[in-house]
Structure formats: structure tokens, C-alpha cells
């Protein structure tokens, strides 16, 4: 074996350092180009390695190989409530509420397909959250906003492996975004436990109708605190529009500061908001421990859906679907019980449609249409009972009988809500 000690190995246009057998290189400060290791492997100048089978006794990695994305539904696959809405809050995409206020004509937010041939599509993304602006004839009001958010449980941050009180420990946020209007957009992170903190950031100037990947590497801070519980601990907000009631020109971006509700982000350019039918698309949202934005962690639809079920479970939706078997506890008093597919974050509330004849009960040789379920009874993280009474339209059903309940209207649904 020979030993070669040099300061710099220079290449022309292709790798020219060829190691065939037994060469030990030490003291190299720069390799320009690449290195061929026999015919089986190439170490490229950008750090990538092309090779065949790797045999090793140990792999040491600074971040998890899987389960590294703290964001749930970052590829916008799951939309249990529906694929389009013009209402504010948790009304469409799972884990990504869209908050709307003050608009003359509310924007629509929808789950859409990523255009084939675009960069996100070639990377494997098939769905995105798209906001289509309305006709804002009154301009941008001081309390107007169009605002995408994900809220994260405190324990998912505190137990993530991020040493969040150290300025030399990092988390990295990355996402793909496209706007029909050339503009810089804003966002911020907010923490809840201890001293509430905020980390404002911007996208930089986006070209119109061009998908752009945004990456933000965020250090820890001595004032950060996260409880090891299932409460709200961390909020990520990506903002097409926010009025001056919540912004300030004095905000410092890319730095932690004390949370101030009237100065969450730097003042926002309003061009997008005042342009009729402008669009804003988002996908590939990833938050991970470490200082590098790794390739997006794609998870199966079933895996992502189960993660979403922890916060919201759509038990049934649409017509002619089985709701549950039930017991008639009293005359015209239906009492079904269901078990959730996963343990929910907290004891859920009932989320149910209310309309004439939305549901039908079959029992003791007959059937009857009724309107809704009016209450949830003794819910736990795992199961819930719920009730429908005569006040809900149940009639002609006698106590002591078993019953079967189905949906009987396309607008009928029954869900359970444990969102942050």
C-alpha cells in the first residue's frame, strides 16, 4: 500500500483520480471533480456516491432514516372532510386548516392534482393544497387574512431529538410553493409552552407560476420550551395574506423573538390578495431535526391517513353507508357505540350533519328517517357513544330493540374531532 499526502487534487472535466487497489490518501483538503474507486464506485464533487451493493458493519446517521418528518399530511394526500371549501378553519385538508377573514369574496381552498411535467411532479408529488382568491373589491383590510397552518403536539417536538435550547442544534423546514403572482410571501413559527416565541421568515421573491422549493434552517434558542404532553406546542404558518393588525415593519426575520400577536411577521405585500382569482399552491411540507433539508419523506396513503385519524376521524360520509348498530335505550332513543381506528389525541367532540332525513334507522320490522345525532356520550380516546332522540326526528321506534343506522342523504356525515 502507498500513501499520498497532498493539499489539493484537481480534475479537468471528468474524475481523474482512479483508485484500483490499496491507495491510502491522507491530508487532502480539496478534491475538485470526482473520484473513481475501481469500476464499482464514483464519489462525485457534490458529495453524492454512485455505487453498487454496500456491505458494512455499522451505519451512523445524524437524522432518522424514516419517521423524520414531523409534519403530518405534508404531501396533501388526505382530505377527509372534502376536497374543496370556502369556509375558514378545519374544513378541507387534514391537518392544514386555512383561516380566512375580511374578504369580500372568500377564497376557495381545494385539494388539486400537481401538474405533470412540473418539478414537484417529477419528484413524486401528486397532490397540493391550492387557494384561489376571490374578488377583493375593498382592497386589503387591516384585519384581512388568508393563512395556512399546522399545529403540532408539544410532545412531538420535545421528544423529536432536537436540542431546542441550544443555538447549535437545528430543525429544518422545507416546502414547495407556487403563486400565480410574482411576490414574496411570509410565514412564521410560534411556540406555546413557557415563554411564547416566534420565528418569522419569508420565501424570497417567487416568480409567477413557477414551483419553488423553500428551505429554512432554524436554530434552537434558550427560551424555547415544550411540554411532554398532547397539547398544542408548535404552530407553523404559511401566509398568502395577513393585514397590518398582525404585522409590523419592525419584525426581524430569521431570528427568534418573543411572540407578539400584533407583530407576528413583517408587513406583507398585498399584490396577490388584491389580484382577482390569484392562486397559491403548497405541497411537500417537511419539518425535520438537523441542519439539512433531506428529500421529502413520502409515506403511504394508509400511513398518512392513520396519522390524521388521531386528530379527526370521518366515520361515514355520503348516502347509503352504514353508520352503526344501536340499541333503543328508550322509545325513540338511539344509542350506538363505535370504536375509533386509532387512539385519538383527546376525547373527541361530535361533528355531524343536520338535515331532514339525513339518516335512517331500521328496527322492529320498520324504518324511520331522522335528522342528526344531537350528543356524544362518555367519549374516550378509543370509543364513543352518541345519541339521537325524538327531538332529532326519531319516531316510531320502541325501547329494547336493536337497530341498524345508515346514511340516507349525499350530504350526510358523521365525524369525531380531536384537533388541536
Tens-digit pLDDT profile for residues 10-32: 545 554 555 555 555 555 556 66
Which segments in the chain show pLDDT lower than 50? 11, 15, 58-60
CB atoms within 10 A of CB 55: 4
Q: Which pLDDT score, from 0 to 100, does residue 59 have?
A: 47
Interior angle at CA 125, CA 189 and CA 286, nearest 5 = 20
CB 370 within 8 A of CB 362: no
Alpha-carbon distance of 62 to 150, in angstroms, equals 26
CA-nearest of 157, 299, 317, 135 to 234 is 157
The CA distances from residue 96 to 15, 148, 299, in Å, are: 46, 6, 17
- Please compute Rg for the chain using Cα positions: 27
User: Distance between alpha carbon 165 and the CA centroid of its chain, in Å?
Assistant: 24
pLDDT value at residue 23: 56
Q: Which three cell numbers stand for residue 132?
A: 384561489
What residues form DSSP beta bridges with 31?
9
Taking the C-alpha atoms of residue 328 and residue 390, their distance in angstroms, rounded to an integer, is 12
Mode of pairing for the β-strands spanning 8-9 and 30-31: parallel
Write the CB contacts of 39 (distance below 8 Å, at least 6 apart in sequence).
none
- Picking from 56, 273, 88, 84, the residue whose alpha carbon sits closest to that of residue 183 is 273
Reading the block at residue 160, the C-alpha cell is 423529536
Report how far residue 217's alpha carbon sits from residue 150's, in angstroms, rounded to the nearest whole number.
18
Q: Which residue, among 379, 409, 385, has the nearest Cα to 336 in the 3D structure?
A: 385
Residues 147 and 179: their CA atoms lie apart, in Å, by: 14
Q: What is the pLDDT of residue 41?
A: 73
Which pLDDT belongs to residue 66?
A: 82
- For residues 125, 127, 128, 130, the Cα torsion angle rounded to the nearest 10 degrees is 150
Give the number of other CB atoms < 10 A from CB of residue 329: 15
In CATH, the number for domain 84-307 is 2.60.120.260
Amino acid at each position: 500500500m502507498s500513501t499520498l499526502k497532498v493539499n489539493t487534487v484537481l480534475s479537468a472535466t471528468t474524475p481523474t483520480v482512479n483508485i484500483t487497489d490499496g491507495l491510502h490518501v491522507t491530508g487532502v483538503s480539496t478534491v475538485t471533480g470526482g473520484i473513481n474507486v475501481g469500476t464499482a464506485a464514483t464519489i462525485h464533487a457534490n458529495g453524492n456516491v454512485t455505487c453498487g451493493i454496500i456491505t458494512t458493519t455499522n451505519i451512523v446517521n445524524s437524522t432518522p432514516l424514516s419517521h423524520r418528518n414531523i409534519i403530518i399530511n405534508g404531501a396533501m394526500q388526505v382530505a377527509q372532510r372534502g376536497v374543496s371549501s370556502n369556509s375558514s378553519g378545519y374544513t378541507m385538508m387534514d391537518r392544514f386548516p386555512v383561516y380566512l377573514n375580511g374578504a369580500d369574496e372568500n377564497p376557495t381552498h381545494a385539494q388539486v392534482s400537481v401538474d405533470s411535467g412540473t418539478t414537484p411532479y417529477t419528484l413524486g408529488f401528486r397532490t397540493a393544497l391550492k387557494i384561489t382568491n376571490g374578488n377583493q373589491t375593498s382592497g386589503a383590510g387591516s384585519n384581512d387574512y388568508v393563512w395556512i397552518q399546522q399545529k403540532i403536539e408539544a410532545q412531538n417536538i420535545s421528544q423529536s431529538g432536537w436540542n431546542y435550547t441550544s443555538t447549535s442544534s437545528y430543525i429544518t423546514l422545507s416546502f414547495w410553493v407556487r403563486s400565480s403572482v410574482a411576490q414574496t410571501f411570509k410565514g412564521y413559527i410560534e411556540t406555546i409552552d413557557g415563554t411564547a416565541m416566534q420565528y418569522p421568515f419569508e420565501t424570497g421573491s417567487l416568480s409567477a407560476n413557477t414551483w419553488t422549493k423553500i428551505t429554512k434552517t432554524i436554530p434552537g434558542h434558550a427560551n424555547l420550551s415544550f411540554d411532554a404532553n398532547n397539547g398544542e406546542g408548535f404552530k407553523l404558518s404559511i401566509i398568502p395574506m395577513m393585514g397590518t393588525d398582525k404585522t409590523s415593519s419592525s419584525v426581524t426575520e430569521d431570528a427568534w423573538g418573543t411572540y407578539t400577536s400584533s407583530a407576528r411577521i413583517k408587513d406583507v405585500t398585498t399584490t396577490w390578495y388584491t389580484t382577482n382569482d390569484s392562486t397559491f399552491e403548497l405541497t411537500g411540507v417537511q419539518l425535520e431535526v438537523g441542519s439539512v433539508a433531506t428529500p421529502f419523506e413520502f409515506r403511504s396513503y394508509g400511513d398518512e391517513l392513520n396519522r390524521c385519524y388521531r386528530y379527526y376521524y370521518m366515520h361515514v360520509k355520503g348516502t347509503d353507508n352504514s353508520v352503526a348498530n344501536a340499541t333503543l335505550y328508550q322509545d325513540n332513543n338511539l344509542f350506538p357505540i363505535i370504536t375509533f381506528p386509532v387512539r385519538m389525541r383527546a376525547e373527541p367532540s361530535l361533528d355531524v350533519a343536520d338535515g331532514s332525513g339525513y339518516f335512517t334507522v331500521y328496527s322492529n320490522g320498520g324504518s324511520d328517517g331522522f335528522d342528526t345525532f344531537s350528543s356524544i356520550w362518555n367519549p374516550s380516546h378509543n370509543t364513543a357513544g352518541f345519541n339521537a332522540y325524538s327531538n332529532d326526528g326519531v319516531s316510531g321506534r320502541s325501547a329494547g330493540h336493536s337497530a341498524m343506522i345508515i346514511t340516507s342523504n349525499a350530504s350526510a356525515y358523521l365525524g369525531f374531532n380531536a384537533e388541536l
